[in-house]
Structure 1
Amino acid sequence: MKHLKHLLFLIAVSFAITSCNSTRTALFDQYSYEKTIELKVETDQLISKATTPYSDNQEEIEKLFLNLEKLVEYEKNKPNNEITFEMLKMLNDKDKNLLAGFFKHWETKGIISKSFLEESKKQILEAFDLLIEYEIKKDKQSKEALLDLINLNTPTYEQR
């Protein structure tokens, strides 16, 4: 009887460990948190300049995207980090209606209107906020909010 209880306990522990592994999420990462905040602040400052010619800001924009690429590469190699990685890829996708799509639109148009700039900025910074919140909390609510944004089929700027 004692062996049976011990066996049942081991089975229960094994089941718990196995079920937890399938829903694992990467733990809080201070580097990811800091770099995401830096990207958000740089993005905010650059988007505010979109009422000036794109060419006047090209060097800063290239630096922003280099920093984003570095973070994408870092996040890609972390275990249990699919959601953060997908969100960063989405921000870096010129065919999406977020960060890279905004800068592609700015490059195409040369200058962006103040009203378009403000609406776009609001959406892009909100995406960064969701990513930052998820990095801090790693809870179900922040995960679902980020997944909702990732799964949302947003049109590109050209489709508007």
Structure 2
Amino acid sequence: MPHRKVMNDETCPVARCVDLVGDRWSLLIVRDAFDGVRRFGDLQRSLGVARNILSDRLRKLVDAGILETQAASDGTAYQEYVLTTKGESLFPVVVALRQWGEQHLFKRGERHSVLIDKRTDKSIPHMAPTAKDGTVLAPAATEVRKVT
């Protein structure tokens, strides 16, 4: 299988992010970590991913500082994968993907999982980029200033 170019020298933050967490398995591992899945076997069962692929993605996520390993919380000999502060900061990315999927990938009335605010027991509001004054920003109201 050919290797793709690593984007460490890329000046676009989106390209660097996608290079690190943009494949299906990495994002789903992060999603499951937010849902409290911590052990290799539990991740494998949840995702249905091959062991070698899961091992590779977990290693990359640990090397990138998104996950860290720690001794199992129940005192067994297992190790657990937990989100670091850097990993937890991916939460808005996962929520944005979820909300885009809810809006565009399900038929009206089709059932799907829902992200709930535990304090209110209600689904969380739709996320949108906003200006400092709180107004929602449309793509046309922004521009990327590229490095020259």
Query: What TM-score bracket applies, with the shorter chain setting the length?
Result: under 0.3
Q: Which has the higher helix share?
A: 1
Q: Which has the higher strand share?
A: 2
Q: Higher relative contact order at CA 8 Å, sep ≥6: structure 1 or structure 2? A: 1
Q: In terms of Rg, which structure is larger?
A: 1
